[in-house]
Chains A and B, each alone.
Chain A
């Protein structure tokens, strides 16, 4: 098993797409910081009554959804690039135990996603703190680091989840385009569409959409449809569903 893990880790490191995905997240971080800086500058020149109406200048708000998509792409590419090129056949000849193959890929994608997610959320938090300085709420998102921890952890969990959902979709669909379109649907299209449903179903269905799980997990949303535990369970359901379907496709179908 260590051999297969080693191999998968080298696989992920030795392709350029991984670098590009990480660069995209870095660019998003810079963009998020820029937006926060501009908001803060605007806040500084606004009259006090308007200052109260500002949202938080937290780069994370912009960076996390983008990084979710990026990690979904990373997870999907980890396997769809093999189906696209035919490398999967070479790979499964060297590792014919498909369960071990799936497990190694899952562990590597989860590990990389976790590290990237932690670094991204911490950098976004740190950038926000540097930019807003000792300004009060609401322009400053958090009073202290302890105040931010639940949000940072929930965002990290959602980022790792997206990496693995991407991987599961990749195993299931075997196509880069298919996996990315599905990811876009889950992250950006479906949540908007659910709002068109009649009340109360719009709120209920919206609450289990991928992008709104992290804020419910951290408990930062006022009066959320899902409790933190509920949100966590829904996240686990996504994970089991995506990887389960991917595993079934890998184990049952011919390569």
Chain B
């Protein structure tokens, strides 16, 4: 269980996180979404006690992270896979972390095998590929068999096989009853992994919803083409739908495609095309965060 309450973190003049509140409960994968610079990493760093909040608090299982003894048994975190001393072997790196929390070397070996790094255990971390470092970071997070897991952009630098591996891993961890929070700036990635999403922009909460609700909310309209659009509009309006005309097509809201087809058939109105349109999650996400994008390129050709 992760609780973030009215969290604010200010760096000099910028508010990285601004009165953010949300909860993540055990048993599902929570996607933490936002454009670059939205405050995802800052929030995670505050949860892990690396950054001190300007105000508000972040609790893990009801406690401040810094108050937890041997925290690796409760919380596992992958923040930045590159944030490791390159001169140590992968095995030694994990042993260093394990020892600080009283975890046995046996467990280190098992975890290395679990993430598929047993073959490179003796290689120096600096010589590992980005994907392997990512796996090493996951191994570090899993060392203490924690009930709460935080992953900051875990698929960065992974190949397709690695991405699928981490997706399955996160889903499995959630299914085992753990609390899983995964940040990403890609909706397409979260659509495949997350059960719920927390969307933030400019440090503020934009939306907290289940993936299903989000899809429902952004279900759009039905595109209809007919040879006699005016007649169809009259029929549809009478049935309680709204229709707007554009480029010779009708965009109908308030009725499903089968209902529109039935209505048209009953009134003998010919229909040439009938397409239900739902905004892709990516569109939904862009629409949600449009106001809060920190860095954007000038759009051309539109």
Residues of A participating in the B interface, judged by any CB pair closer than 8 Å: 3-4, 6-8, 10-11, 14-17, 81-82, 85-97, 254-255
Alpha-carbon separation in the docked complex, A52 to B274 (Å)? 112
Q: 14 pairs across A/B with beta carbons < 8 Å?
A: A3-B99, A7-B97, A10-B95, A14-B89, A16-B87, A87-B84, A89-B83, A91-B97, A93-B71, A94-B71, A95-B101, A96-B48, A97-B66, A254-B52
Q: What is the CB-to-nearest-CB distance from B76 to chain A, in angstroms, rounded to a whole number? A: 9
Q: Which listed residue (B50, B86, B89, B99) contacts A255, Cβ 8 A?
A: B50
Q: Which listed residue (A3, A6, A87, A92) contacts B49, Cβ 8 A?
A: A92
**Number of residues in B with C-beta < 8 Å to the partner?**
32
Chain B residues within 8 Å of A6, by CB: 99-100
Name B102's closest neighbour in chain A (CB-CB): A3
Alpha-carbon separation in the docked complex, A86 to B85 (Å)? 8
Q: Is the CB of B84 within 8 A of A10?
A: no
Name B9's closest neighbour in chain A (CB-CB): A254
Alpha-carbon separation in the docked complex, A107 to B171 (Å)? 42
Q: Which listed residue (A7, A82, A89) contacts B99, Cβ 8 A?
A: A7
Chain A residues within 8 Å of B50, by CB: 89, 92-93, 254-255
For the complex, is B96 an interface residue (Cβ under 8 Å from A)?
Answer: yes
For the complex, is B92 an interface residue (Cβ under 8 Å from A)?
Answer: yes
Chain B residues within 8 Å of A8, by CB: 100
For the complex, is B251 an interface residue (Cβ under 8 Å from A)?
Answer: no
Chain A residues within 8 Å of B68, by CB: 96
Q: Is the CB of B83 within 8 A of A85?
A: yes
Alpha-carbon separation in the docked complex, A97 to B64 (Å)? 11
Chain A residues within 8 Å of B71, by CB: 93-94, 96
Chain B residues within 8 Å of A97, by CB: 66
Q: What is the CB-to-nearest-CB distance from A152 to chain B, in angstroms, rounded to a whole number? A: 33
Chain A residues within 8 Å of B87, by CB: 15-17, 81
Q: What is the CB-to-nearest-CB distance from B156 to chain A, in angstroms, rounded to a whole number? A: 15
Q: Is the CB of A94 within 8 A of B100?
A: yes
Q: What is the CB-to-nearest-CB distance from A3 to chain B, in angstroms, rounded to a whole number? A: 5
Q: What is the CB-to-nearest-CB distance from B207 to chain A, in angstroms, rounded to a whole number? A: 28
Chain B residues within 8 Å of A91, by CB: 97, 100
Chain A residues within 8 Å of B83, by CB: 85-90
For the complex, is B25 an interface residue (Cβ under 8 Å from A)?
Answer: no
For the complex, is B175 an interface residue (Cβ under 8 Å from A)?
Answer: no
Chain B residues within 8 Å of A86, by CB: 80, 82-84
Q: What is the CB-to-nearest-CB distance from A102 to chain B, in angstroms, rounded to a whole number? A: 14
Q: Which listed residue (A87, A92, A93) contacts B85, Cβ 8 A?
A: A87
A3-B51 contact given A90-B140, A96-B68, CB 8 Å threshold: no
Q: Is the CB of A14 within 8 A of B72?
A: no
Chain A residues within 8 Å of B80, by CB: 86, 89
Alpha-carbon separation in the docked complex, A34 to B44 (Å)? 57
Q: Mark interface residues in B83-114 (1 if CB within 8 Å of A CB, else 0).
A: 11111110010011101111000000000000
Q: What is the CB-to-nearest-CB distance from B7 to chain A, in angstroms, rounded to a whole number? A: 14
Chain B residues within 8 Å of A254, by CB: 45, 50-52
Q: What is the CB-to-nearest-CB distance from B260 to chain A, in angstroms, rounded to a whole number? A: 55
Given A3-B70, A87-B84, A90-B83; 10 other pairs, CB 8 A cutoff: A11-B88, A11-B96, A14-B92, A86-B82, A89-B45, A91-B97, A94-B100, A96-B48, A96-B71, A255-B51
For the complex, is B65 an interface residue (Cβ under 8 Å from A)?
Answer: yes
For the complex, is B79 an interface residue (Cβ under 8 Å from A)?
Answer: yes
Alpha-carbon separation in the docked complex, A96 to B60 (Å)? 13
Q: Mark interface residues in B49-77 (1 if CB within 8 Å of A CB, else 0).
A: 11110000000000001101011100001
Q: What is the CB-to-nearest-CB distance from B109 to chain A, in angstroms, rounded to a whole number? A: 15
Chain B residues within 8 Å of A10, by CB: 92, 95-96, 99
Chain A residues within 8 Å of B96, by CB: 7, 10-11, 14
Q: Is the CB of A94 within 8 A of B48?
A: no
Q: Is the CB of B79 within 8 A of A14?
A: no
Q: Is the CB of A4 within 8 A of B79?
A: no
Q: Is the CB of B66 within 8 A of A90?
A: no
From 221 to 247 in chain B, residues with beta carbon under 8 angstroms from any chain A beta carbon are none
Alpha-carbon separation in the docked complex, A85 to B89 (Å)? 15
Chain B residues within 8 Å of A3, by CB: 70, 99-102
Name A10's closest neighbour in chain B (CB-CB): B96
Q: Can you list the 5 inter-chain pairs with the closest CB atoms, starting with the nearest?
A: A86-B83, A7-B100, A7-B99, A14-B92, A96-B66
Q: Is the CB of B65 within 8 A of A96?
A: yes
A82-B101 contact given A90-B140, A92-B50, A93-B79, CB 8 Å threshold: no
